[in-house]
Amino acid sequence: MSEAPVSEAPVSRAPLSEAPVRPPRLAPRTRTYLWAGGGLLLLVLPFYLDRFWLQAGLFAMAAAIGAIGINLLTGSTGQLSMGHAFFLAIGAYGYCVFAAEGGDGLTGLGLPTWLAAVLAVLLSGLAGGLFSPIAGRLRGAYLGIATLALIFIGQHVLFNARDLTGGFNGRDVPPLSLFGLTFDDRELLVANVPFGSAEKLWYAGLVLLLGCGLFARGVLRGRPGRAMNAIRDHRIAAGVIGVPVARYRAAVFVLSSMYAGLAGVLLALVFQRTVPDYFGITLSLEYLAMIVIGGLGSVSGAVIGAVFVSVLPQLLTRYSDALPLVSAPGTGGVAPGEASRYLYGAAVVAVVLFLPGGLVRVAAGRRFRTDPGEKR
């Protein structure tokens, strides 16, 4: 860290884009076709997949949104956060409180559900903003452990504020309805395929993920992204060249919390019930694992990592009898959940040691390798 890559990054980056070092990139047209093909595939999947796979996919989408958020914070700005689960919980429970009718003895404001979702995201952002006196000042491990406090505060509130959260048993999540379309299990036939909540939510999830991904990409490629990377790579130098460091750190924290809030809303809608146990420290660690495995500081890395970490346990559960070493939960052997934790724990270690940059670098054919702006 003795030589600041900050100031040179934008300069040396420009020639690199035409530099011959890179292996030939896919022609723009091929890329467009790939994107279109992939998008089309995602659009038609609900017509062919059963509920299990759709749910797995939805979890992955929600996780991807959350992972993009934490990657903005931890990957791009270098602020370690172990409190991401707290903001997910605020999103999930905030949505419940705003949207529920309040018939079951729990507080519910009975707002239109789309408004509730928006408010829940804003509420997460607000919570992140309230934490900014700490988030703007602490760094590295100090921040990591301070955010650990959020998890415990969150758990405490979730278990104790029974009127809001339903306590230990959690509370039901009212289905989202938008433009007269309700995302619940009342079946709707589309081209002779019954559309339940999973199918309908699939499209909502896709739209949200696309929006979040594009927004984050915009942030990262523009002025704020450069400032964030500068803060990560050399905080003092960033301050000297005029980046308002504390303000940026607080702002990224808020943005990342809002992403987490949205992921929380989506997760709540998929689960259809929120329980406090879920939003513990394990969840936070999972999100950190996602971005490390996928690739720190990039949107596609976050998405790849999220798919890896969230689909893996479901895959292992589904095929536990066909796999060696994995047995059904409760039979004494390695349960699928544990097996997947071994795998992603090992993946975190292996990626950092042997594959700096994460899976996204492999997918991209290591073409960023010589890019000094990306070096950590």
Asked if 275 is part of the footprint of another protein (rule: CB under 8 A), the reply reads no
**Measured between alpha carbons, how far is 116 from 96 in angstroms, rounded to an integer?**
8
| Contact letters for another protein, residues 158-197 (x by CB under 8 A) | -xxx------------------------------------
Instruction: Classify each residue of 149-170 as buried b or exposed e, where b means 16 or more C-beta atoms within 10 Å of its C-beta.
Output: ebbeebbebbeeeeebbbbeeb
Q: Which helix (H) or strand (E) holds 374?
A: none
| Contact letters for another protein, residues 71-90 (x by CB under 8 A) | -------x-x----------
Other beta carbons within 10 angstroms of residue 349's beta carbon come to 11
**Sole binder of another protein in the list 39, 102, 105, 133 (CB under 8 A):** 133
**Sole binder of another protein in the list 9, 267, 289, 360 (CB under 8 A):** 289
**Sole binder of another protein in the list 148, 188, 311, 355 (CB under 8 A):** 148
**Sole binder of another protein in the list 25, 31, 156, 186 (CB under 8 A):** 156
CB closer to another protein, 213 vs 337:
337
Closest residue by Cα to residue 253 from 348, 332, 135? 135
The region of 25-33, 62-70, 232-240, 243-251 touching another protein under the rule CB under 8 A is: 232-240
Closest residue by Cα to residue 282 from 65, 58, 84, 63? 84
Minimum CB–partner distance for residue 344 and another protein (Å) = 7
Minimum CB–partner distance for residue 182 and another protein (Å) = 35
Which residue is listed with tokens 């011959």?
Answer: 20
Other beta carbons within 10 angstroms of residue 319's beta carbon come to 11
Q: Where are the alpha helices (DSSP H) in the chain?
A: 9-16, 28-48, 51-70, 84-99, 113-130, 132-135, 140-160, 162-165, 197-221, 223-233, 235-240, 245-271, 281-294, 299-318, 336-354, 359-363
Asked if 157 is part of the footprint of another protein (rule: CB under 8 A), the reply reads yes
CB closer to another protein, 200 vs 232:
232
Check the CA dihedral 219-222-224-230 and report its sign: positive
Asked if 123 is part of the footprint of another protein (rule: CB under 8 A), the reply reads no
- CA distances to 17, 34, 200 from 37, rounded to whole Å, are 26, 5, 21
Q: In a 3-state reduction of DSSP, which class is residue 251? A: helix
**Measured between alpha carbons, how far is 38 from 16 in angstroms, rounded to an integer?**
29
Minimum CB–partner distance for residue 292 and another protein (Å) = 5
Largest CA distance in the chain: 66
Asked if 152 is part of the footprint of another protein (rule: CB under 8 A), the reply reads yes
In sequence order, the β-bridge partners of residue 274 are 171
Asked if 261 is part of the footprint of another protein (rule: CB under 8 A), the reply reads no
In sequence order, the β-bridge partners of residue 172 are 273
The region of 19-27, 168-176, 215-223, 333-341 touching another protein under the rule CB under 8 A is: 333-341
- CA distances to 40, 132, 216, 278 from 158, rounded to whole Å, are 40, 22, 30, 11
The region of 7-15, 188-196, 335-343, 360-368 touching another protein under the rule CB under 8 A is: 335-343
Please report, as residue ranges, which positions from 8 to 47 form the binding site for another protein (by CB under 8 A). Answer: none
Minimum CB–partner distance for residue 370 and another protein (Å) = 16
Q: Which helix (H) or strand (E) holds 178?
A: strand 177-178
The region of 117-125, 176-184, 236-244, 364-372 touching another protein under the rule CB under 8 A is: 236-244
Minimum CB–partner distance for residue 333 and another protein (Å) = 9
Chain residues that interact with another protein, rule: CB under 8 A: 1, 78, 80, 133-134, 137-138, 140-142, 144-146, 148-149, 152-153, 156-157, 159-161, 236-237, 240, 281, 285, 288-289, 292, 334-335, 338, 341-342, 344-349, 352-353, 356, 376
